[in-house]
Structure 1
């Protein structure tokens, strides 16, 4: 009977400790399993190359002021799928489009970025859409640019 209070106190302390860890890590003890090895890698996508290399391979430079960057790129797969999303000041979009050798295709959201746009909660076919210019020797890139209150959300995909 003398040992019972010590076990109860130890059990109580353990419960408090686990509860405290859960409060500090709401995703659970295994949340790091979803984090990729590359900075900016999206939890929804995977990558086997870092963002800088993927952007270079696709001939895209992130514009000044790009924020909330996420991407996925799998160089090991046939076709080298690539996707990147970021926000930026809308006044920089024309220069970004020009520098990335994109041309306007109206407002029909390209199939390659459609799911990303929908997942972000935006409607389709209401905002400018782009594709890599055909005369460019760079890999094909599709884009949608969603403007809301002076900030643009850019969705790029191969």
Structure 2
């Protein structure tokens, strides 16, 4: 079973902004954003990029990374993500980021979400596996009603 990390990652200390998207204002280190948004990453996550700004309404958190597809189900389970059948995919921040970056040719894509107590999505992820099914690219986003 893959180890999952919450609020701390190798190479990410309290003030580490090394993984932030370039040209995006970020005021929260990655480990803090992961903890606040209750997101855990597989130990084998790589090519991690994020944005998080606690001063904006909803404290938006956008995250992209790659994982071996063999740990995909563990990532989904540890984050309580379920397949979404809603037709909201086009309005999703994660979907817009995935579209902007371009999905890998021949990829299989699915949308997952974790609903808050009021039924609104608080965390969602688009997972695309490459044609061979060995590498999975993840685009995820989270919003919080109460950023504290």
What is the CA deviation profile of residues 13-62 of structure 1, one whole-angstrom value per residue up to 9, with x for unaligned ones?
Answer: xxxxxxxxxxxxxxxxxxxxxxxx71100115321000000000111111
2:10 match: none
Matched, 1:66 2:55: no
Number of residue pairs the alignment of both structures matches: 120
| Structure 2 residues not aligned, in runs of 5+ | 1-15, 143-148
- Runs ≥4 residues deviating over 3 A: 106-110, 133-136
Name whichever structure is richer in helix by fraction. Answer: 1
CA apart distance, 1:133:
3.7
2:99 and 2:23 map into 1 onto residues whose CA distance is 14
Name whichever structure is richer in strand by fraction. Answer: 2
| Contact 2:42 2:75 survives alignment (8 Å) | yes
Relative distance call for 1:95 and 1:119 in structure 2 (3 A) is: same
CA apart distance, 1:72:
0.1
Compute the RMSD of aligned alpha carbons.
2.6
Q: Which structure exhibits the higher relative contact order, with contacts defined as CA atoms closer than 8 Å and separated by 6 or more residues?
A: 2
